Chains A and B, each alone.
Chain A
Amino acid sequence: MSSRGRIASTWKYLFGDSAKAFGTLSLALLVLLAIVPARDYFREWLGFQKQYLRLISRRSDAASLGRRFQSGLQQVWLPEIGVVDRCTTCHVGLKEASLVDVKAQPFRPHPQTPHSLTEFGCVLCHRGQGTATTVEEAHSSTKSWEEPILPARYLESACGQCHLKLLTGTPRLNQGRRLLAQYGCVRCHTIKTPEGVTMTGADDPPSLEHIGEKTTREWIAAWLKNPQAYAGSATMPNFQLPDEDIRDISAFLIAQSTPYKTEKPLGAATAPSQDDAAVQQGSSLYGESFCASCHAMQNAAGILVGGNLGPELTRVGSKVKTDWLADWLRNPSVYDRDTAMPHYRLDSKQITLLLGFLGSKADSDFIGNTHLDTATPAQIEHGKTVVLERGCAACHEINGVKRPDNFAPELTLVGSRPLAKILFAPGVAHTLPDYIAAKIRQPRSFGNALKMPQFTLADQQVDALVTALLAQTGRAQTLPATLRVPARRPTDYHPAGRAGQLIEDMRCFSCHSINGRGGDMAPDLTWEGTSVRRAWLVDFLKNPNTLRPALIRRMPKFNVTDAEANTLADYIMTVYQTPEFDGDAIDASRFTATEVQSGKELFYGKYACQSCHIVDSKNDKGYIGPTLTQVGTRLSAAWMFHWLKNAQSLRPGTQEPVWKMNDEDARAITAFLAAQQGAPGRKAAP
């Protein structure tokens, strides 16, 4: 039978008469109608809900789990924050703490966090497509939806959308934000927080206006070739410049350099000696001056020891000119008005010793291979062109080169940059986090002509940076302002008068905070006047001894004169007073022997203060808190009394627990401590 014949006979069989046609059409309609409920029946989420019911049926608390289970499509709808999340349709056990042993998804309970599902939904933190009801659409990126689920390694970025103040539980986000400032990312890229505040750098790149006085063209060239070869901890990235560019930039930088003062550098009074004994003496002075509080050096084992407030000094002898260093040590602010380095008031002999020691910290290999011929005007001109092209002035002040505005793309909304606008380098997975990570890790893999330099970062640092950048979402800008936890911003506090000048001159703010301005390396001094006794303060300023034996970073000796110490003490005692109570309210001379004795018992017994403090240097060993052998000469009785009641309210962040001691106990322990006057003429335990 021909095919035409077969179609004709089938047609006849199905639609031969009106009854047949009616029956066939009804059947077809019935099948069509059945598809809809069938599709519904085979929905993925329904399968998960059935699986969940089977899972809980085997558990001892099946009845209560079953009561809380709600079948059908579930939805969290929060119009205020733009959340429509149906994730709980499949993730049915999110709120069931008793399922703690269930590790398989989608039934794993949600771990404890400060925010509840009903308040914030899911996608605000995890990304993904909240309205989707299939696994694929909800979690992966599709053409129409570009936000796949955020990998857990970057999850802290979600917190950063609202939390602009430092959050203890998000170390990766905190580190990332710190790195954005520390590595100067924000000097080329504008990044505004959701509060509208532009992030600022914390790396203090030096001005190059007088660079010729400080170092040589050879050093500049070697440094440009590879900053990390000079100092492993250097934050300056490698610009991967061709040798001609390095030659010409160094020529230009020397050519544009001007003298930083009218008179010739004073230099060292006597030539620094490099013999072992002198270097050893210089090394001791370096130690005694606590230079290591801010500067790091590699020790013999190659391990970096010291702080990172100032530059690493492992090879400083290969870098700076001796005359410049002598002037710098004499008073750093003459060369750099804004430096964090204090004015140490060193005498000529001390400067010579330090010059000898720092000069010995040289590495002949570093500059060894750099040979530069005298620069031609054409080379200098080309050097300036390269400096302009590479945006050097985004970080450094350079004579005749203006700071470029918006040198690199703004990153305020990088956390929700559409994938369609991104050009991926080969081998990079097509997700936003992978793109950002690849950009940070190897910027030039996206094209050799790109200007972004190569940073030296560990994998964890890259993760942290990606986390901080992913927090810069469009959503963060549109969330209600009431959800925002604002950043603590430094104040512009400037102490007044002669004491104010001294405080600035000695750069107290580099380590101490006062009235919301300053560093966090040393205690906050906002209420120091209420806290300490004047006589002790004057002594301490002249010769700071160590209060906390276990600390590495310590207060250096600034060699202040009696007059300077008195000026500072007068100011601190008058101005830095808490409004909460009167520092003189408790007269230490009126404590009775009974009170002292009972305080001693409380100190060693009920409160076991000796766990952390030393009063009796023979028997007590605790060294978390300051040594208290002469605390009676150091602190006012009223301060101690209030400290024992609530130290956190006096100095937020202190290690001292809040005791909420009753008045009687606090008074007795204060009496005992006030009696600790130390042996006359003896210094506190080292």
Chain B
Amino acid sequence: MMNRRMIPVAAATLIAISACTRHPGGAAGEKPKVFGAALISVSGEKQVGGVGGQLDQPLVVQVNDAQGAAVAGALVCFAGSRGVIVTPDHGITGSDGQFSANVSLGEASGHYQILVSTPVASGPSAQIRIDEIALGYQEMLGAKLNEIYCIRCHDSESTPERVSNHDNLNAKPHAFTEGSVLNAMSDADLVAITSHGGAALNKSAEMPPYGNMLTKSEIAALVAFMRAVADPPYPTQGVFYASN
């Protein structure tokens, strides 16, 4: 099983390496002057967006040398597939050692992996894999309902427009991304707790019942959304491996 899963990854690696060696001869100013040793993801990872659409934030990666200092002028290549488009798909890091690109997701809902690589002075190129999440209609409906009804308590992060109520509660609500907890719960349990409140499953009554307010399909959409954003991924969601 593991072997079969590794094949596309290996293929992607080869393609990425060949891409990285193919491009430098091209346009002026794209030739890597410097080589780094490692790649890190700065921002834009694990974003959630609609199928086929462009993610709100660019994907930002940084090339570091062996000492962990940022490397300017290094080549970075992206490889995504099954409809994932990274623009530009390669480029040279700026003075801060970073390079950013926009990501458009594929046409099916699920997790998409993007392979990022940078050539290293000797030996195989350094790589990281970055996950992004595409939501289909049902999951997107869940995402929007989450923004209306759930996020204020279930997300501990506050924004200027939305102050979190998470820390005011005795039983701390689980973030919907908390796959380690939510993946173990059945769809039926999640539907029950959303419809009838925490007390229905002998959990905190601080979770109110939404079954009188949301329709069955809306609650199913919320569960679909939780499954879509779970980290680690919910088993049946699957991961699209980067390949060409």
Contacts and interface: CB of A to CB of B under 8 A. Distances in A.
B165 A612 contact: yes
A252 to B, nearest CB: 41
Interface in A621-656: 621-624, 646, 648, 655
A608 interface: yes
B138 A111 contact: yes
A111 B165 contact: no
Interface stretch (A47-55, A150-158, A243-251): A150-158
Interface string A308-327: 00000000000000000000
A112 B104 CA distance: 22
A101 interface: yes
B117 to A, nearest CB: 24
B54 A463 contact: yes
Interface in A87-126: 100-101, 103, 108, 111-114
Nearest to A151: B52
Interface residues of B, number: 50
A168 B107 CA distance: 20
A5 interface: no
B238 A103 contact: yes
Interface in B195-227: 199, 204-206, 208-210, 212-213, 217, 220-221, 224
Interface stretch (B23-31, B141-149, B174-182, B183-191): B141-149
Interface in A598-612: 605-608, 611-612
Contact of B205 (A155, A606, A622, A624): A606
Contact of A552 (B108, B161, B212): B161
Given A168-B141, A606-B205, A608-B208, A550 B163 contact: yes
A459 B224 CA distance: 27
B208 A112 contact: no
Contacts of B137: 111-113, 155, 169-170
B220 A172 contact: no
B50 interface: yes
Nearest to A100: B236
A171 B52 contact: no
A169 B220 contact: no
A460 interface: yes
Contacts of B205: 605-608
A655 B221 CA distance: 18
Given A111-B109, A155-B51, A611-B168, A460 B56 contact: yes
Interface stretch (A19-27, A496-504, A657-665): A657-665
Contacts of B42: none
A480 to B, nearest CB: 23
B230 interface: no
A305 interface: yes
Contacts of A103: 82, 108, 110, 238, 240
Nearest to B56: A460
Contacts of B161: 552
B56 to A, nearest CB: 6
Contacts of B240: 103
Contacts of B212: 646, 657-660
Chain A binding surface SS class? loop
B238 A305 contact: no
Contacts of B209: 657, 659
A621 B53 contact: no
Contacts of A648: 213
Contacts of B160: 305, 552
B52 A155 contact: yes
A106 B162 CA distance: 42
B149 A606 contact: no
A154 B238 CA distance: 24
B153 A112 contact: no
Interface core residue of A114, A153, A612 (most chain B CB under 10 Å): A153
B46 interface: no
A657 B165 contact: no
Contacts of B168: 611, 621-623
Interface string A646-686: 10100000010111100000000000000000000000000
A114 B137 CA distance: 9
B136 interface: yes
A111 B54 contact: no
Nearest to B238: A101
B54 A611 contact: no
A442 to B, nearest CB: 16
A660 B169 CA distance: 23
Contact of A172 (B53, B83, B145, B162): B53
A101 B235 CA distance: 10
B174 to A, nearest CB: 15
Nearest to B87: A459
Nearest to A606: B205
B41 interface: no
A623 B106 CA distance: 39
A265 B210 CA distance: 56
A170 B137 CA distance: 8
A305 B152 CA distance: 20
A611 B163 contact: no
A611 B169 contact: yes
Nearest to A156: B50
A152 B51 contact: yes
B238 A608 contact: no
Nearest to A174: B144
A125 to B, nearest CB: 10
Interface in A569-621: 605-608, 611-612, 621
Nearest to B109: A111
B140 interface: yes
A171 B140 contact: yes
Given A101-B238, A111-B136, A655-B149, A611 B217 contact: no
A678 to B, nearest CB: 21
Contacts of A459: 54, 102
Given A111-B138, A152-B107, A611-B165, 9 more contacts: A100-B236, A103-B82, A111-B109, A112-B137, A112-B138, A114-B217, A154-B52, A606-B205, A659-B208
21 contacts: A100-B236, A111-B109, A111-B136, A112-B138, A113-B137, A152-B50, A152-B52, A152-B53, A152-B83, A168-B148, A169-B141, A171-B144, A460-B54, A463-B54, A550-B162, A550-B165, A612-B165, A624-B153, A646-B212, A655-B149, A660-B212
Nearest 3 interchain pairs by C-beta: A152-B52, A169-B141, A153-B52
